[in-house]
Amino acid sequence: MSDYLPFTRPSIDAATIEGVAEVLRSGWITTGPQAKAFESRLSQYFGGRPVRALASGTGALELALAIAGVGPGDEVVTTPLSWVATANVVLRAGARPVFADIDPATRNIDPARIEAALTPRTKALIPVDMAGLPFDRDAVYAIARRRSLRVIEDAAQSMGATWNGRRVGSFGDLACFSFHANKNMTTAEGGCLVLDDEAEAARCERLRLQGVVRLAGGEIEVEEAGAKMNLTDVAARIGLGQLERLEEFNARRRILARRYFERLDRSLGCGLPPADFERSNWHMFQVLLPLERITIDRARFIALMHERGIGVGVHYPAMHLFALYRAQGWKAGDFPHAEHVGASIVTLPLFPAMQDGDVDRVCRALGDILAAHCR
């Protein structure tokens, strides 16, 4: 379908494509000078904090857990409403993810519910910036300080977002970003970990490549098992081009998000996201379908939107209801706010290359479909 509108699409300019071609022609395509340059630019962006580029945002979370000393017998408190990687990495570290319900207004973890989830085994917190809206850093860090906990910020979706005028990642503890193809800036696949300590940054660098330390004379030493999470120069060159345009991309996303608020028919009963144009980077524009008012389910709604040439995503089901986490003892009813949002949320198209008319088209299609299937 030639006029199909996906829910997201990366914007990669000709200069970046030519830059990637130059990297390929150079013969140095794995981690090298481009990756170093990308890390340097990211460090500048985050106010001079040390940054290590990685193969994925999931890898950033995994290494952050290792650096925080999380392991078997530990617990990590996080939200049930996120991409499942947020909790999977905790299990893979041998620890137990413990969920705390969301604030239904922000769709981020509710700081008031974190305290009840803490036990003597809690080692860290992983709050998530859902759809690019920053979690309440003041409240979460206050809890962490009182309990001497590490905070691993899952900022995978919030590149360019701010908290009280400061860029997310420019302060705080360990901050993990994703540069996946659907993010506000991309390296095709990739991510980074922002640290606040040079010693931990050096350890991150070791862990991302098998724990190897290179010695004089070409010798190496390995003192702990690492992983294979380095970012290639090909990916880093894409990232350099994307970072230069990040503010432009995010500004366009804000314009499109404002148009959604202007054009969506409030009488349809959809739950709208917080209209936060100061903090959010508008990674996604998500609404809650009024399932109690319509005669179709979410799958049918998505299919009908697709028939109109419009892509719609689901980000995310409540992860504690997956079989893996039911096996950990979680069940339906444990986190009602996350369950309600997870069952009814849909992601509407939002990306910088969209035209204003594309938003109007989405709103018309959504309105037509819901109006045709009212109870």
> What is the tens place of the pLDDT at every residue in 191-211?
999 999 999 999 999 999 999
String of DSSP letters for 17-46: HHHHHHHHHHT--SSSHHHHHHHHHHHHHT
Q: Does 306 score more than 60 pLDDT?
A: yes
Q: Does 295 score more than 90 pLDDT?
A: yes
Per-residue pLDDT reduced to its tens digit, 51-70 = 999 999 999 999 999 999 99
Given pLDDT bands bounded at 50, 70 and 90, which one contains residue 273? very high
Integer Cα distance of 111 and 137 in angstroms: 9
What DSSP designation does 214 have?
Answer: E
Per-residue pLDDT reduced to its tens digit, 58-116 = 999 999 999 999 999 999 999 999 999 999 999 999 999 999 999 999 999 999 999 99
Per-residue pLDDT reduced to its tens digit, 241-264 = 999 999 999 999 999 999 999 999
Integer Cα distance of 92 and 99 in angstroms: 16
Per-residue pLDDT reduced to its tens digit, 311-342 = 999 999 999 999 999 999 999 999 999 999 99
Q: Does 28 score more than 80 pLDDT?
A: yes
Integer Cα distance of 157 and 160 in angstroms: 9
SS3 319: helix
What DSSP designation does 294 have?
Answer: B
Tell me the CA end-to-end span of the chain in Å, nearest whole number. 31
8 Å CB contact between 65 and 91: no
Report the DSSP pairing between strands 191-194 and 51-54: antiparallel
Determine the distance from the C-alpha atom of residue 253 to the mean position of all C-alpha atoms in its chain, rounded to a whole number: 16
pTM, two decimal places: 0.98
Given pLDDT bands bounded at 50, 70 and 90, which one contains residue 2? low
Q: Does 1 score more than 90 pLDDT?
A: no
Q: Does 173 score more than 80 pLDDT?
A: yes
Which of 91, 63, 85 has its CA nearest to residue 192?
63
Per-residue pLDDT reduced to its tens digit, 340-365 = 999 999 999 999 999 999 999 999 99
8 Å CB contact between 267 and 293: no
| The 150-154 sheet, strands edge to edge | 51-54, 191-194, 174-178, 150-154, 122-126, 75-78, 96-99
8 Å CB contact between 40 and 31: no
Residue recorded with tokens 């905790």: 90
Compute the average pLDDT of residues 156-185: 98
Average pLDDT over the chain, rounded to an integer: 97
Catalytic residues: 183
Integer Cα distance of 206 and 216 in angstroms: 16
SS3 220: strand
**Residue 267 Rama label (left phi>0; alpha psi -120 to 50; beta):** alpha
Give the count of beta carbons closer than 10 Å to the beta carbon of residue 220.
Answer: 10
Residue recorded with tokens 């206050």: 142
String of DSSP letters for 131-191: GGPPP-HHHHHHHHHHHT-EEEEE-TT-TT-EETTEETTSSSSEEEEE--TTSSS--SS-E
Integer Cα distance of 125 and 149 in angstroms: 7
- Residue 113 CB burial class (10 angstroms; 0-12, 13-18, ≥19): middle
8 Å CB contact between 316 and 342: yes
Integer Cα distance of 13 and 352 in angstroms: 12
Given pLDDT bands bounded at 50, 70 and 90, which one contains residue 13? very high
Residue recorded with tokens 């010693």: 199
SS3 51: strand
Q: Tell me the β-bridge partners of 125.
A: 77, 151
Structural domains in the chain, sorted by start? 14-244 (3.40.640.10), 246-372 (3.90.1150.10)
Q: Does 214 score more than 70 pLDDT?
A: yes
